[in-house]
Amino acid sequence: VTAAWPLPSDDDVAFYEEHGWWVSPPLVPPELLAACNEAMDRVWSGHFDLGEAPNGYFNPGDDPGAIRKANNGWRATRAIRDLVFHAPIAACAARLLQCESIRLWEDQILDKPTGGDPSASVGWHTDWTYWGGSVAEPRMITAWVPYQDVNPTNGTLQFVDKSHRARIGDGSDFLATDRDAQLERILGEGGGDVVDVDMRAGQVSFHSPMLLHGSGPNLGPSARRATAVHLMDGALRSARRGETQHYNLDLLEAGGLRVGDAFELDQWPVLYPAP
Ligand SMILES: O=C(O)CCC(=O)C(=O)O
């Protein structure tokens, strides 16, 4: 069976393993991105067409220059749900992670207002900093889906190339705004190669949970919007380690599973093989 979209080739998988990231050809149709854009407007105004508020949604009165972010938009609106379930995304993730099945871990909807405010930036961090206390292994991957073209001007995603091999943990902070100083603190003298991902709307970038990444302020003409679809190997087991746990661990136990079990509840739907 040939897929209706281009899956990562063996060379692409090797690139992902070496660099810790990979950018796909166009995978998401413009109509779906337009629907997500409208859905994000509705979420920020407090309207959830699937009935459930995402967690941490923006409140009117919050700093208008700062980044707006909410988790699990797929439970709040049909359009974001369609994006999270868009089959090519999880199919590419399965190829890159080389696993049999993919489940959703969570999504994040992200809106970076224009105006250049440093509080719209995203500090350097690894996703593992936030997830590693709750899962057994880093068999996870993020698919980042911008709703419009992205470039260094409008605050595209930035990766420290190959940093997934460096096991960087300390100093990772999504909320940091002193990004240059932060990067120096984390990487020390030698520094690292920062890659600004330049993408056309419809492309998807994938990164390892161990890869250091962040994004700068938005100096473009309009908001820079994206959904990060955080995915895991469907067989990944939960664990409890260190001091901080992700809220998914509480949800797993509240759903009647035990720490050590895989995340086999509707909260974490199987996205590949496509349902
Ligand atoms: O949208 C951004 O700038 C940050 C996204 C991010 O941190 C992620 O996708 O893991």
28-83, pLDDT tens digit by residue?
A: 999 999 999 999 999 999 999 998 999 876 676 788 889 999 999 999 999 999 99
**pTM exceeds 0.85, yes or no:** yes
> What is the distance of C-alpha 30 from the center of its chain?
20
Contacts 24+ apart (CB under 8 A), 247-256: 247/55, 248/105, 248/106, 248/134, 249/133, 249/134
Query: Ligand 1, atom 9: nearest CA belongs to which residue?
Result: 228
50 burial level (CB within 10 Å; 0-12, 13-18, 19+) = middle
Nearest to 164 by CA among 103, 213, 121: 213
pLDDT of residue 56: 74
Cα-to-centroid distance, 100 and ligand 1 (Å): 26
Confidence of residue 226 (pLDDT cuts 50, 70, 90): very high
Query: Would the CB of 109 count as within 6 Å of ligand 1?
Result: no
Query: Would the CB of 127 count as within 6 Å of ligand 1?
Result: yes
- What are 127-186's pLDDT values in tens digits? 999 999 999 999 999 999 999 999 999 999 999 999 999 877 678 888 888 999 899 889
pLDDT above 60 (res 223): yes
- DSSP 8-state class, residue 47: -
Cα-to-centroid distance, 44 and ligand 1 (Å): 18
Query: Would the CB of 16 count as within 6 Å of ligand 1?
Result: no
Is 143 within 8 Å of 88 (Cβ atoms)?
A: no
Residue 58 phi, psi dihedral angles, 5° rounding = -60, 140
Query: Would the CB of 144 count as within 6 Å of ligand 1?
Result: yes
- Mean of pLDDT over the chain: 94
